[in-house]
């Protein structure tokens, strides 16, 4: 009886949020696209009247000199810049505070977030702290707690995975509690984004594969959820097709510019889909593996995805079957269940082909109750999933992904 009431509460909350979202600002970022698009960014920034920017990135990208052409362009346009390269793979509250201080102490007027999801998320949260100086990062966690316009924000993704350049969320790690939570507000959605495939050419195969499967997870979880609208259905379908057709090509030949270009667009479409339709239990569990063990987010999603899709069972068959049709792995004689299972099997095949493991060997027995509790706190009622999961079911699923 209590569980039935809880599920009713969860579904009611999700329906109310879906209704409220009709009245929010869903304007997409202005895009600079194509080979060499990042070289057009400095003049674009100048046209916006921004004279000094904070560049948020990580030390790895700095060591590869990937920012040099853009920085040269900023110099030519007489745009001053300051660099914060202290972003960690899972951005922490401490690094966000440091980033915010660099922005304020140098009187910056805008932000360029250059990198994967971590630099973009760190920059989003730091920008939120700039405009809300009295509100801590911890107090911002959850939905619609920033609601204030950010400084001019330019997102430059260097991976085809997170979709952070188009989403309204920033995922933050609390290094004291090892919790990984999202700050979500429409004002965090970047106003400008650069999709330059040449910036992804140098990605090593294991980063290409896991970030690509991260994007696939975004598309699939958004598509099978209960908060879709026409546009999110369309974006998720287009993203799934683009990622399926191009990810292994990019993995096997990192210099395939066309595949890289299509992956960036697929990741962008998937980000567009889930930023309004939300994700699901794959992300809820993956976030907590990232918080406790620093597991790369894309890797966690890739491993967990087929297990959660199987657990959803019949509640997800119809939409998974449609995705199977879209990627072209079905025939007219197959039932919905057969098509859905074929799609899940294809996800498993892709993982194996790209050397992604099917289980984890680092999850500790004593951590399972914490993972379950935090994952369900994130997922219920936050994610409009096809079927609602309880503690016993979540624990059983987590044990399946353990070696």
Domains and CATH numbers, the chain: 26-200 (3.40.50.1970), 204-400 (1.20.1090.10)
pLDDT at 98: 98
The model's pTM: 0.97
Residue of 13, 67, 17 whose CA lies nearest to 39: 67
pLDDT at 208: 98
What DSSP assignment string belongs to 183-232?
EE-GGGS-SEEEE-GGGGTT--HHHHHHHHHHHHHHHHHHHHSS---HHH
pLDDT at 163: 97
Q: What is the length of the chain?
A: 403
Give CA–CA dist 53/45, Å, rounded. Answer: 9
Query: Residue 229's CB: how many other CB atoms inside 10 A?
Result: 14
Contact 201, 257 (CB under 8 A): yes
Residue of 56, 34, 33, 52 whose CA lies nearest to 42: 52
pLDDT at 167: 97
Along the chain (403 residues), what's the average pLDDT of each consecutive run of 10 residues?
91 95 94 98 98 97 96 98 95 96 98 97 98 96 93 98 96 91 95 98 96 98 98 98 98 98 98 97 97 96 98 98 98 98 98 98 97 97 97 98 95
């Amino acid at each position: 009886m209590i569980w039935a009431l809880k599920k009713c509460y969860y579904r009611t909350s999700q329906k109310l949020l879906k209704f409220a979202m009709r009245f929010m600002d869903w304007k997409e970022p202005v895009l600079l696209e194509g080979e060499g698009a990042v070289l057009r960014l400095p003049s674009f920034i100048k046209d916006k009247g921004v004279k000094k920017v904070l560049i948020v990135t990580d030390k790895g990208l700095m060591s590869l000199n990937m920012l040099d052409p853009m920085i040269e362009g900023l110099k030519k346009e007489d745009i001053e810049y300051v660099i914060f390269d202290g972003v960690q793979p899972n951005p922490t509250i401490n690094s966000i505070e440091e980033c915010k201080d660099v922005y304020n102490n140098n009187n910056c007027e805008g932000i360029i977030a250059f990198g994967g999801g971590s630099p973009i998320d760190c920059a989003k949260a730091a920008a939120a702290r700039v405009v809300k100086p009295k509100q801590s990062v911890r107090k911002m966690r959850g939905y619609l707690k920033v609601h204030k316009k950010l400084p001019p924000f330019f997102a430059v993704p260097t991976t085809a995975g997170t979709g952070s350049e188009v989403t309204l969320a920033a995922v933050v790690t609390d290094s004291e509690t090892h919790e990984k939570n999202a700050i979500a507000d429409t004002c965090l959605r970047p106003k400008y984004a650069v999709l330059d495939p040449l910036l992804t050419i140098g990605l090593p195969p294991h980063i290409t594969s896991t970030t690509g499967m991260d994007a696939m997870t975004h598309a699939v979880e958004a598509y099978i959820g209960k908060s879709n609208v026409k546009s999110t259905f369309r974006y998720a379908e287009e993203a799934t097709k683009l990622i399926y057709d191009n990810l292994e090509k990019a993995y096997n030949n990192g210099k395939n510019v066309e595949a890289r270009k299509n992956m960036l667009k697929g990741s962008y479409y998937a980000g567009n889909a889930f930023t309004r339709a939300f994700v699901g239990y794959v992300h809820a569990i993956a976030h907590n593996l990232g918080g406790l063990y620093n597991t790369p987010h894309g890797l966690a999603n890739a491993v967990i995805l087929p297990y959660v899709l199987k657990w959803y069972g019949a509640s997800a068959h119809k939409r998974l079957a449609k995705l199977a049709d879209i990627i072209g792995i079905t025939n007219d004689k197959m039932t919905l269940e057969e098509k859905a299972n074929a799609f899940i099997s294809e996800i498993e095949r892709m993982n194996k082909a790209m050397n992604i493991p099917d289980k984890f060997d680092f999850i500790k027995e004593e951590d399972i109750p914490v993972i379950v509790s935090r994952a369900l706190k994130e997922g219920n009622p936050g994610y409009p999933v096809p079927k609602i999961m309880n503690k016993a079911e979540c624990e059983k699923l987590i044990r399946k992904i353990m070696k």
